[in-house]
Chain A
Amino acid sequence: AQSVAQPEDQVNVAEGNPLTVKCTYSVSGNPYLFWYVQYPNRGLQFLLKYITGDNLVKGSYGFEAEFNKSQTSFHLKKPSALVSDSALYFCAVRPGTSGTYKYIFGTGTRLKVLA
């Protein structure tokens, strides 16, 4: 079965410190990987994606993510956290070659950046 795991329900980090939000996946073929952010009572906003190429991808608001094929991971990172980064973050995967265009989401990680 294809799945996405976000092992941490919540991550707390002090403002100015680096942050990491973890994501691992299990899909057949080469996956397309995504990170989204959700603010209260809002829809999901796209942050960044990995399709192919360089394992380190950069996205919106200073976020980046590292694709690791051997560990089947796609962790979200930011060198210096801001209080305004506090939100709910979702990792998503779309199987690249299985003929489905369904996107599978993780359960989310709540990020709290403390001033």
Chain B
Amino acid sequence: DTGVSQDPRHKITKRGQNVTFRCDPISEHNRLYWYRQTLGQGPEFLTYFQNEAQLEKSRLLSDRFSAERPKGSFSTLEIQRTEQGDSAMYLCASSWAANTGELFFGEGSRLTVL
């Protein structure tokens, strides 16, 4: 299967630690998105890339969050000095820029901050 893959699927960490999530998009997709989803809520936009350029970043994203897509393929989302409020599902999605169509989502990375 060549869908969007995310790693790790689950991460439990202590408050104050740093965590990093990886997303591998569908290979021909040049747009990559990160969303955060908390229980009972819809996905909240965090940021998106077109190729390696980060084109938009949510104001929800504090300075503790950083995302990269260095070669325009996989992406990483790092959270520094985690807080309990960071506990959520982090979703990655990709799409083809020439397409007016849908996002393809990965299974998500669930973060629990103790």
Contacts and interface: CB of A to CB of B under 8 A. Distances in A.
Contact of A44 (B40, B55, B105): B105
A34 B40 CA distance: 19
A49 B101 contact: yes
A90 B48 CA distance: 20
B103 interface: yes
Contact of A90 (B40, B42, B55): B42
Contacts of A96: 100
Given A32-B100, A102-B48, A103-B103, A108 B56 contact: no
Contact of A45 (B44, B50, B91, B105): B105
28 contacts: A6-B42, A34-B102, A34-B103, A42-B108, A43-B4, A43-B91, A43-B105, A44-B103, A44-B105, A46-B103, A46-B104, A51-B100, A51-B101, A96-B100, A101-B31, A101-B48, A101-B50, A101-B56, A102-B45, A103-B103, A105-B42, A105-B44, A105-B45, A106-B42, A107-B40, A107-B41, A107-B42, A108-B41
Given A44-B93, A51-B101, A101-B50, 18 more contacts: A32-B100, A34-B103, A42-B107, A42-B108, A43-B91, A44-B103, A49-B101, A101-B31, A102-B45, A102-B48, A102-B56, A103-B45, A105-B44, A105-B45, A106-B42, A107-B40, A108-B40, A108-B42
